[in-house]
Each structure stands twice: as structure tokens, then as C-alpha cells.
Amino acid sequence: MSRKKRNLLFFLTDALTFLGLGCYGNRQVKTPHIDELAASGAVFTNAYAMCPFCVPSRASLMTGLYPHHHGIVHNGCKADYFGEGEHVERMIVDADVTTDRTLAEAGYDTSFFGRFHLTDEYGPPSYYKNLYREMDPYRDRLNAYTASHDFPPGTEISEWYQWRLPTFPCDAVRRAPRHVNRKVPFLETLYEEFILKIGKLMLPHEECFDWIVADLSDREIRETKGNFAVTCSFGAPHDPWAAPEPYYSMYDPGRIELPSTFTISNPNPLLKDAGSFVYSAALGEAGLREYIRIYFAQLSFIDAQVGRLLAALKETGQWEDTVLVFTADHGDLVGHHGLFEKDGSQYFPDPLVHVPLLVCAPGAIEAGTRVDNMVQQIDVMPTLLDYCGFDIPGGIDGRSMRGLIENGESETWRPYALGQRSGLSRPYDRYSEVQRQQVSVQTHDWKCIFHGDTPFALIDRSREYERLENVLDRAPAGVLEKMREHMAEAWS
């Protein structure tokens, strides 16, 4: 019997921790449309990124493979950084079996709008009917707008990877030191161009990258005659840290509740050398509050775009025929331990690797479903193909989560989540055997981090939001042996 072929709408965000959404308990941020999507389907409370960086995680989302199997282990390539630095490995190519390739071969119109982050100098896969990314053409459009408009006195022009963004920093940011003592020139540049220019984004909505991404997605939903697979990949809440009105003014920095582990004067011993702690100390508490305010404002701006696309599906009568997913490539510290962005990644801190995952398939997934099992990004690809009515390809690491969603079938589900972290710039052949570097294995109770085959740290997850502490020298009997078993199973 043939299965119903559903459309696919994939919302992907960059650097969104699960703690950032109302549907995960955040009482401060305003995300009504994302919360509506969550209430309409399944909320996964324990979904984990394959890597604390963008690129390997995105590849796992697309292929259903662990990074050590798809071979994309670094966070970027020559094309991503526009000629700055060495080529590291091939990115996603036509030969890779992905969700979108499978759907394109079945006649779907496949489109990817937004941050792709998986293109090397050979270009993106050829199966996309439509492709719009953050560089050409958006960079040129943005820079032309910035060059042709006057902005209020005090506006800064932030140079973000060839974007020229007009931002208006608040007083707390303007009072921060103009320089920090960083020995690596890039890190000093990051501070001067990214950190000291966070603030209100002086662009109308229709010139903002994420608005354009949603607009193109909206058009594709409304105009496609057959089945579609649309990825709406937002750049936020990743840097550049700026948000347009009225979202910027939705939040009062002085009223933001800071994380319980927030500090700018007493760093956690495990994280005292983290780079962003230097920036946090320079910005001070008021500056960090501004950063969190912008993070929340970006989420509310994204939420408005999600609302536009949910409306498009309903207005065109395609809501019942579409599988929707909302997730992130990785999280963000957002002030936990006095850090932000991807810092402290060697310990795989929970806000950085614990991501939101919402899956909605009207008529197939009961509204209000909650799944507490530990799932990973490798499980997204087979789940989407399953709900879209397709067989799951052989040879992948992930499993369809349909049984967990509909029947609570958890007896045979893996009781752990794997994470991997490699160097950032070592040239590498993705088609050769991947060597274990830093690997995280976590269960509901423990997180064990290995360097190669050697345990490096053991974290009691029940206390992680009180204090991140390495208790390897006090490991309970049997815990390390079980973690080794889990790692061996995943690496097989």
C-alpha cells in the first residue's frame, strides 16, 4: 500500500539553546508561534547536537550519520570563510544521501533558503531548485543598502564576514574597553568588530537576512504546485548580535533573569581560560545583559517569521499535508558560567549541546506529545523521511523516532547521546578513517568526555546547572565502563 507523500518544512536556527524558547520553560522570551508549533506536535525534551559547532552537526542533520561516518568534522571550509584559511575537507556533495536528495529524486521541489554552511569551492549540491545563502547575493544587497543610506549619529558599521551591518550599541557596550589583551589577532578583531558593535540593528525588516529567508520560503510554499521540501535556515541567534525594532525594545536588560551560574569575577576552574570570559569581563554585567537582550530579541524576530510560514501553510490548505520540524545546529552559553556563544566546548556544556527539537505532522502526530528519551541529530533525517512517506535508506546511523512519538516505544532505544569535537583547521580527507579526538558520551545521569580512548572528564549532569565540575577521580563504580561501552557501540 502506498504511503501519503507529505511536504516538508524544515526550520533550522543557528546557536539556539533549548533554554531559549517558551515551550521549553523560558518565562522571559516571547516566542508564541514557535510555542504554537510545539503544542501542535511533539516536543523532544532531550535532543542533542552531534557537535558543539555548526558544520558537523548540520551534516549529521542532513545525512543521518555520525560525524565520524560522514567525515565532515571541522567547523568550516575555505568557501565558508571566503578564502581566509585553508581548505579542510569536502562538504556535502551530490553523492551524499540526504533528506533533500531523496525527496528531489522523488520529484519534490527542494529549496534551501538561508545559512547553508556546507558548501566548499565546488559549490552546493545540484538537486536544489532554489538556493539563497548569506553571502552572494545577500551580502551584496546588504552592503549596497548600507552604503546608500544615512544613519543616526552613533551608528557603528560592523564588519561581519564581509557583511557591513549598521548597528547602534547601547551605553554599556560603548563604555567597554576598546581593546582586550588577546594574543591571537583574530580574537582581537572579533572583539572589536563583533562584541563592541552589538546593539540595535538599523535596518528595516525587509532588508534583514532572516526576513528575506522567510519571504522566499513563503513564496515557495504558496507557488509550488506539487510536493515541496523547503529548508528555512535562519542565521540568528548566532552572531552578528544585533536585532531590529520593535523586537530590540521588547526586552529590558535590567529585568532579565541571569543564569544561576552567571559570573564575571569568579570563573569556573574548568572554564577560566575560555576566550569569551575575557570579553564578558570587559563588557561587565550590563554588557552581558545587553547580549542576552539581543539574543531574546533575535528569537522573537525569528518567531515572527515562523508565524508567517505557519500562516502560509494554513491559508493555502497545506497544513494537514506538511511535516514540520524546528531545531538548531547547536546551542549557546547565553551567560551561563559568564560565557557566551560556543565557548567552553571542550566540556560539552549542556546549554551548548542541548537543542530544541519540535516535530509536527498533523493527523499523524498527536498534539501535545512529549518525548523524554535522549535523541540525536542523526535521528532527524530518517524520521522526516518516514513521516513524508519514504523508506529509510540503509547504512545510516540514525533511527526513525516515529515509534517514540506515537507509541512510546523506548525499550530498545539507545540510552545515551554522543558528541564529537575536532580541531578547527587541520587539513583532512573526509573519506579516510576519522580518528577519535574529543568525544562526549552522556546519559540522563552522567557525561563522560574522552580524549581518544582515555576519559578526560566526568560530569554529574544533575548538578551541571549548579556547578560544572570534573568528578573523574570520584567516578562511581561501573560508570566509566558503561560509557566506554556506549562509545564503542556508536563508533562501530
Residue 161, CA distances (Å) to 182, 200, 239, 295 in order: 20, 19, 11, 19
Within 10 angstroms of residue 207's Cβ, the number of other Cβ atoms is 18
pLDDT value of residue 427: 47
Domains of the chain: residue spans and CATH: 7-146+204-418 (3.40.720.10), 436-492 (no CATH)
- The residue that leads in pLDDT, 136 or 120, is 136
Spatial CA neighbour of 245 closest among 207, 299, 200, 213 = 200
C-alpha cell recorded at residue 447: 557525561
pLDDT value of residue 82: 43
C-alpha cell recorded at residue 93: 556533495
Q: Is 14 helix (H, G, I), strand (E, B) or coil?
A: coil
Residue 158 has pLDDT above 90, yes or no: yes
pLDDT value of residue 85: 47
pLDDT value of residue 2: 52
Query: What is the spatial distance between Cα 400 and Cα 481, in angstroms, rounded to a whole number?
Result: 28
Residue at grid coordinates 569551492? 121
Max Cα distance, the chain (Å):
67
pLDDT value of residue 430: 63
Question: Residue 278, class by beta-carbon neighbours within 10 Å (0-12 exposed, 13-18 middle, 19+ buried)?
Answer: middle
Helical H segments across 175-274, by residue range: 185-190, 209-223
Query: What is the spatial distance between Cα 335 and Cα 279, in angstroms, rounded to a whole number?
Result: 11
Mean pLDDT, rounded, of the chain: 92
Which residues of 25-170 form beta strands (DSSP E)? 42-44, 47-48, 109-114, 130-132, 156-160, 163-168
Residue at grid coordinates 542533542? 48
Reported as a pLDDT band with limits 50, 70 and 90, residue 272 is confident
Residue 428 has pLDDT above 60, yes or no: no
Residue at grid coordinates 521541489? 109
Q: Is 47 helix (H, G, I), strand (E, B) or coil?
A: strand
Which residues of 342-461 form beta strands (DSSP E)? 354-355, 357-360, 369-371, 375-376, 417-421, 438-442, 446-451, 454-460
Query: What is the spatial distance between Cα 282 and Cα 82, in angstroms, rounded to a whole number?
Result: 30
pLDDT value of residue 193: 83
Residue 210 has pLDDT above 60, yes or no: yes
Q: What is the mean pLDDT of residues 186-204?
A: 87
pLDDT value of residue 123: 73
Distance of CA 319 to the CA centre of its chain: 25
| Amino acid sitting at position 478 | G
Q: Could you read off the pLDDT of 33-81 as tens digits, one per residue?
A: 999 999 999 999 999 999 999 999 999 999 999 998 998 888 865 444 4
pTM of the model: 0.95
pLDDT value of residue 71: 86
Q: Could you read off the pLDDT of 87-134 as tens digits, one per residue?
A: 457 789 899 999 999 999 999 999 999 999 887 666 789 999 999 988
- The residue that leads in pLDDT, 213 or 120, is 213
